[in-house]
Amino acid sequence: MIKSYIFDSESITNKNIIITYFHAKASKNNYIYSTNQYHMELFIYLFAALFSVLNPIGTVPIFVGLTQHDSQKERSRISLWTAINVFIILLVSYFIGQYVLTFFGISIDALRIAGGIVIVNSGFSLLSGKFNKKRGINKKIENEAQHRNDIALTPLAIPMLAGPGSMSLLIAFYQEHHQINEIIISSLAIFAIAVAIFAILKSAHYLARILGASGIVAISRIVGFIVISIGIQYIVSAIVNIIKGNF
């Protein structure tokens, strides 16, 4: 009878240990799942925000105009170096931008408001079809660029793709997401944007034939609406933070 009692006690103890183990394992799996989900959402958000602000689709007509007399090999080279230049510019903005803010004594909320205004302005330019002029691209600059040996840095990387809007977006993003895993995810999103830019520019002449001028304009205007929303969200968030800090 005593042996039976001991056996039953051991069985109950073992069952409790097993149940506790599986509960702990389930909690760990849920934590891993939620962490992975957060990282995926972070990646998608930054990629989508950068894609909207950079608007590589809107750069297609300019790229086609600047490379119409170049060979396919030369177009691929320009596409690659444009993507590399954009990647470096965005990465530098992401990591170094915070120190620039500190040096000039600019608060993150002030940057969000200024960046939001720039982003909203870019969005309105996309909606109105005056995006190129807002980025400083006119016929004179376009004609001068056609006679230069390399257009990958200017005007393509700067100011057509990487401009004040994308730079301020990344600086503000770093202030909120500066844990090591968040930095890795953000860097991967920037790299993915560079890959997307390379793919779009490399197939720019093909896209121009498929979509046509009206198709590119339509896409740019849809993107413009998204860009305006992103800019307004930045401004609203900054104003809310300022109000909370003062009251």
pLDDT tens-digit map of 11-60? 555 555 555 544 555 555 555 657 889 899 999 999 999 998 898 988 88
What pLDDT, on the 0 to 100 scale, is given for residue 116? 85
Residue 159 pLDDT level (bands cut at 50, 70, 90) = confident
Count other Cβ atoms within 10 Å, centred on residue 19: 10
Average model confidence (pLDDT) across the chain: 80
Tally of structural domains, the chain:
1
The pLDDT score that the predictor gives to residue 86 is: 96
Tally the C-alpha atoms within 13 A of residue 4's C-alpha that lie toward its C-beta.
1
C-alpha span between 153 and 155 (Å, rounded): 6
Q: Does the pLDDT at position 5 exceed 50?
A: no
pLDDT surpassing 60 at residue 207 = yes
What distance separates the 2 farthest-apart alpha carbons in the chain? 101
> What is the reported pLDDT for 220?
77
On the question of pLDDT at 129 being above 90, the answer is: no
Confidence of residue 219 (pLDDT cuts 50, 70, 90): confident
In this predicted structure, the answer to whether residue 3 has a pLDDT above a threshold of 70 is no
Cα(102)–Cα(43) distance, rounded to whole angstroms? 27
| Beta strand spans in the chain (E) | none
| DSSP 8-state symbol, 161 | I
Q: Model-level pTM? A: 0.73
Domain extent, residue 95, equals 2-246
Task: Give the separation between CA 194 and CA 45, rounded to whole angstroms.
Answer: 16
Looking at residue 149, its amino acid is N
One-letter amino acid of 6: I
Neighbours of 47 (CB within 10 A): 19
Answer whether 245's CB lies under 8 Å from 86's CB.
Answer: no
179: phi > 0 → left, psi -120 to 50 → alpha, else beta; which?
beta
